[in-house]
Amino acid sequence: MDDHLTVLLPIAAVWLAAGIVADGLPRLDRARALRRRTGWLSTLTLTGLGLTAAVLIAGLQSAGTTPVDRAAAGLALATAPAAVVALCTVRRVRRLRAGAGAFAAAPDTPAPHGLRAAAAHPLIGLPLQVTALALVPALVSAAGVDLLAGPAVTGPALTVGALGVTVIGVRHALRHNRLCERALPDEVASARAARPLHV
């Protein structure tokens, strides 16, 4: 086991926890619980961004083969989804928390379908889960397993990773669309269902 695994493990654990919390947000049916979980998600997201940025900056400032340098090299694949988290997800989570706070005065206030649809938006869960998924090759390499060394393994590994991202994205999009349909008033939903389909 390499030393840079001890640097990567806490970062991967934070991103994985953020992905799990984000995945459970649309299932919450009470506004107070939704507000509390968005607070957890905000904390985990900012912690993950801070740890990732700290390791990347430390790796850029020191040229060598220290564990931080190798950990920074392992984080290279996760920088793009982490940037999407910083640009899109943080703002959406902040707005979702504010919206849930407006309904959370009473303990048993149900969360409106519109808030649950916003919690299921792909730009909340997808970047967090893709960032956690992008850390898997770095963790495998840091653990001493050299799966991606041969060219015969690299292609299938990239294909499996792309399929995983696609499945996660389609799942988030379908759940978001289902909750958006519930958020529409009954008159609009029935008029939309009665309208002819144009392809």
For 112-144, the pLDDT digits (tens) are 888 999 999 999 999 999 999 998 888 887 777
Q: 33 in a domain, yes or no?
A: yes
- The yes-or-no verdict on residue 197 having pLDDT over 50 is no
For residue 41, tell me if it sits in a domain.
yes
Q: Is residue 165 part of a domain?
A: yes
In a domain, 8, yes or no: yes
In a domain, 199, yes or no: no
Res. 37 pLDDT band, cuts 50 70 90: very high
Q: What is the mean pLDDT of residues 162-190?
A: 82
**Which residue's structure tokens are 């090759």?**
137
pLDDT value, residue 151:
66
The mean pLDDT value of the chain amounts to 83
The total number of structural domains in the chain stands at: 1
Closest CA to 59 of 71, 67, 69: 69
CA atoms within 13 A on the CB side of 107: 0
End-to-end CA distance of the chain: 55
Which phi and psi angles does 110 have, rounded to 5°? -70, 150
pLDDT for res 183? 74
pLDDT at 111: 85
Residue 150 lies in a domain: yes
Q: Is the pLDDT of residue 198 over 60?
A: no
Q: Is 30 helix (H, G, I), strand (E, B) or coil?
A: strand
22 by DSSP, 3-state: which? helix
Domain span at residue 77?
A: 4-194
Helix 90-103 to helix 122-134 angle (10° resolution) is 130
**Residue 183 counted as domain residue:** yes
| pLDDT, greater one: 84 or 144 | 84
What's the rounded Cα separation, in Å, for the pair 72 and 77? 10
